Chains A and B, each alone.
Chain A
Amino acid sequence: MNPNNYQVLVVEDDAQILKFICYLLDNEGLSYITAGSGQAALSKLVSEYIDVVLLDLGLPDFDGMDVIKKVREWSDMPIIVVSARDQDKEKAAALDSGADDYLTKPFSATELLARIRVALRHISKQGNQAARAVLSVGDLQLDLEKRLVYLDGAELHMTPMEYNLLALLFKNVGKVLTTASIIKEIWGVGYGTDTQALRALMAGLRRKIEKNPAKPRYILTETGIGYRLVDE
């Protein structure tokens, strides 16, 4: 996988941050285009070939959230939201309207690059994912056809709900799933927003796959937002 094949769109209105991100992408050998406003971003998105979007939520012309919604109308390219807002509600809203990941300013270079790598890996996987029936992360394996889970090669017994939850996370590996979206997927739209059942289900699942649930290796908690299955 040659990184030079990929093109990143950086939507950021702050010149300093933009410079820093571009430098970083250059260093990594990724090509990129930049946009300073939501309008510019949308026109670049339709005219250029873009693999990943790095999107600042606080744009001068309109809310970054609207950019996400517009893009999701015709494409499911990875969108990583970068924002100075620490309000969890806004992060969760961005993720729920289709963003794949988020970073809060200030973020570290390693973190940003790691997130971009995850997003790129997704694209490369997407092509052959349908063919793959067995997904794996670390020592954890999920057989989608047989509905079985293996840890270190040994089969784990899962309840149907636990399997559904793990499968959902596997299908979105590396992506942050908000609590609300998980509840909607597992329990259905009518269930409401009570998180208690999800916390209990997650605790049960973790006790089966994690050595120490308070220091999870596979399923990370994004406090106040949701969960993420690590992508190694």
Chain B
Amino acid sequence: MKNVVDAKESSFKDIIKKDIIKNVILMIFLFVAASAIGYLFEHIGVDETNIVVVYLLAVLVTAWLTQSFLFGMLSSLLATFLFSYLFTEPYNAFAVNDPNYIITFIIMTIAALITSTLTYHAKLAAKNAQEKEAETKAIYNLTNHLTDAKNIHDIAGIAVKVISSCFSCKAACLCFDESGMPEQSFIQQVSDDNHVRRAIADIQEYKHKIDGMRTGFDEGNEFFDWPIYGSETTLGVIRIPKENAQNMNEAQNRLLRAMIESTALAMDRFRSSEQRMKSREEIVKERYRGNLLRAISHDLRTPLSGIIGTAEMLADMTKSEESQHSLAEDIRKEADWLHSLVENILNLTRLQDGSLTLKKQMEAVEEIIGGAVAHMAKRAPDYDIRVSMPDELILVPMDAKLIEQALINLLDNAVNHSNSEGEISITVIKNESARHVKFMVQDRGTGIAMSDLPHIFQMFYTSHPNHADARHGIGLGLAICETIVKAHGGNIAAKNRADGLGAEFTFTLPMEEQDEPE
């Protein structure tokens, strides 16, 4: 780093030295010319006053043509000395015989000083104005083009093109994506209308470097990098070759910063409009999904009620020993199963969308159990479900409908995996110290295979994968249970019973209202 600074300083000194020599030569030439004209005037007998005017002209021209204010001052004094040395008696000496000349010298010096000062300032103002104009033009040019950009890379390309032509170098631009990470490659200007992609080696490292930067730009070995800061994140980096960057003066630096600022504005504007468009699309999509779900729920339920009802009627109309009766019963059962599938898919979609918001209220556990048991009594009348729970009233904050659904799913699972002789039981245990209520559903079925245990709550996971007539389930019921229980801030677990065959599902619900789980 230090070497770079030194190199920069030394090159800067070189430039100044060259300038000084050039200015000195110019000044000497002008004064030699002025003195020559003076001699000519004296020779043809023109009044001395005119010689003074010629010297003043030389001072003016020097101040106009040289770069430093110092040369103006110097030339003012030089003019007076030369006049005194060459054209007043005694000649070729700095003394004067006529005291009147002293006044001439003083006035001449003052006039020369004022002339040179004014000239210098006029020149400076003109130069500033010119620079400002060029700057404004360049920025206007840039913003004008940026409005036509169609995407963020277009913006980068235009910025690179304008900066390149403005500073006559081959600039490059690296865009950062929405998450604030640099992209894989720079867009680099190679000729007037040509860009190439240049990959960067380590994105992480590069990002770290840009983020950790303390100065306005980063000085690399070959390039200087200026970050493009947006309103929230870094949007990109403008890269300029080292030799061009080092030779930039204050005004050019300012111009470059202004250009980067305009680029940042354009990128920011583009990003936010992109964001707006995305969220609009999101809303539309959300609405479509909602409509679709509503349509499915309505359009599937209505024909299903027709099928279920008609099948039931057919079964009623036939005697139970006739084959038509069992066929009608089969239709009803299949339609019932299809119905629960539709309900489950709907519930799960809504739960995972987050659109099914929990309506938690203090509910009596016995009522929820009663609801679930009554539902199962209708669906599987052959099965007897035993309920054991404390006699006291237990109130738990919950969405009653959802917890009932979870219990129904667990009972359904138990019914599917056992025959009607095997007892199914629900046990409720209130754990005062842990401040939760435990619900346990047990069956006397075949239990859970060890290989199934870890996956049992996964969506679309079913035991009996080879079962062609897969009436056992579609692997949504338990996934829904888990989603519901988790949404209430509880836990769910599955295991095999310790006291013989059968599966045991337990879930807990906290007894106090708690903050929404993350």
Q: Which residues of A contact B (CB under 8 A)?
A: 14, 16-17, 19-21, 23-24, 27, 58, 84, 86, 88, 105-110, 112, 195-196, 199-200, 202-204, 206-207, 212-216, 220-224
Q: Kindly report which residue of chain A lies nearest to residue B403, judged by CB atoms.
A: A223
Q: Taking the nearest CB of chain B, how far is it from the CB of A164, in angstroms?
A: 19
Q: Kindly report which residue of chain B lies nearest to residue A204, judged by CB atoms.
A: B393
A-B contact pairs, 19 of them (CB 8 A): A20-B310, A27-B313, A84-B305, A105-B301, A106-B305, A106-B339, A107-B305, A107-B309, A108-B312, A199-B395, A212-B387, A214-B369, A214-B387, A220-B370, A221-B368, A221-B370, A223-B367, A223-B404, A224-B401
Q: Are A86 and B297 in contact (CB under 8 A)?
A: yes
| CA A222 to CA B400, docked complex, whole Å | 10
- Contact flag A20-B313 (CB < 8 Å), given A105-B301, A107-B305: yes
Indicate if B220 sits at the interface (CB-CB under 8 A).
Answer: no
Chain B residues touching A, majority SS? helix
Q: Are B362 and A214 in contact (CB under 8 A)?
A: no
Indicate if B90 sits at the interface (CB-CB under 8 A).
Answer: no
- Contact flag A17-B298 (CB < 8 Å), given A110-B312, A199-B367, A199-B395: no
> Which residues of A have CB within 8 Å of B335?
106
Q: Taking the nearest CB of chain A, how far is it from the CB of B197, in angstroms?
A: 55
> Which residues of B have CB within 8 Å of A222?
371
Which residue of A24, A106, A199, A215 contacts B364 across the interface (Cβ within 8 Å)? A199
Q: Are B305 and A105 in contact (CB under 8 A)?
A: yes
Q: Taking the nearest CB of chain A, how far is it from the CB of B307, in angstroms?
A: 8
Q: Kindly report which residue of chain A lies nearest to residue B394, judged by CB atoms.
A: A203
| CA A79 to CA B368, docked complex, whole Å | 27
Q: Kindly report which residue of chain B lies nearest to residue A110, judged by CB atoms.
A: B312
> Which residues of A have CB within 8 Å of B389?
214
Mark each residue of chain B from 149 to 169: 1 if its CB lies under 8 Å from any CB of chain A, else 0: 000000000000000000000
- Contact flag A84-B395 (CB < 8 Å), given A202-B367, A212-B387, A213-B370: no
Q: Are B309 and A20 in contact (CB under 8 A)?
A: yes
| CA A213 to CA B316, docked complex, whole Å | 33
Q: Kindly report which residue of chain B lies nearest to residue A193, judged by CB atoms.
A: B361
B: interface residue count bin: 35 or more
| CA A44 to CA B238, docked complex, whole Å | 78
> Which residues of A have CB within 8 Å of B339?
106
| CA A88 to CA B366, docked complex, whole Å | 20
Indicate if B74 sits at the interface (CB-CB under 8 A).
Answer: no
Q: Are B309 and A108 in contact (CB under 8 A)?
A: yes
With most chain B CB atoms within 10 A of its CB, the pick from A84, A86, A107 is: A84
Indicate if B308 sits at the interface (CB-CB under 8 A).
Answer: yes
> Which residues of A have CB within 8 Å of B368?
221, 223
Q: Are A109 and B297 in contact (CB under 8 A)?
A: no
| CA A108 to CA B332, docked complex, whole Å | 10
Q: Are A105 and B302 in contact (CB under 8 A)?
A: yes
Q: Taking the nearest CB of chain B, how far is it from the CB of A173, in angstroms?
A: 18
Q: Are A16 and B366 in contact (CB under 8 A)?
A: no
Q: Are A17 and B302 in contact (CB under 8 A)?
A: yes
| CA A20 to CA B400, docked complex, whole Å | 33
Indicate if B290 sits at the interface (CB-CB under 8 A).
Answer: no
> Which residues of B have CB within 8 Å of A19?
306
Q: Are B305 and A17 in contact (CB under 8 A)?
A: yes
A16-B302, A84-B302, A107-B309 given. 6 additional CB < 8 A pairs? A20-B305, A20-B306, A20-B310, A106-B335, A108-B312, A224-B400
> Which residues of B have CB within 8 Å of A216?
370
Indicate if B303 sits at the interface (CB-CB under 8 A).
Answer: yes
| CA A58 to CA B294, docked complex, whole Å | 12
| CA A58 to CA B295, docked complex, whole Å | 12
- Contact flag A16-B303 (CB < 8 Å), given A107-B309, A109-B309, A223-B368: yes
Q: Are A109 and B301 in contact (CB under 8 A)?
A: no
Q: Taking the nearest CB of chain B, how far is it from the CB of A218, in angstroms?
A: 12
- Contact flag A109-B312 (CB < 8 Å), given A84-B301, A214-B373: yes
Indicate if B374 sits at the interface (CB-CB under 8 A).
Answer: yes
Which residue of B313, B362, B404 contacts A109 across the interface (Cβ within 8 Å)? B313
Q: Are A221 and B302 in contact (CB under 8 A)?
A: no
Q: Kindly report which residue of chain B lies nearest to residue A21, judged by CB atoms.
A: B309
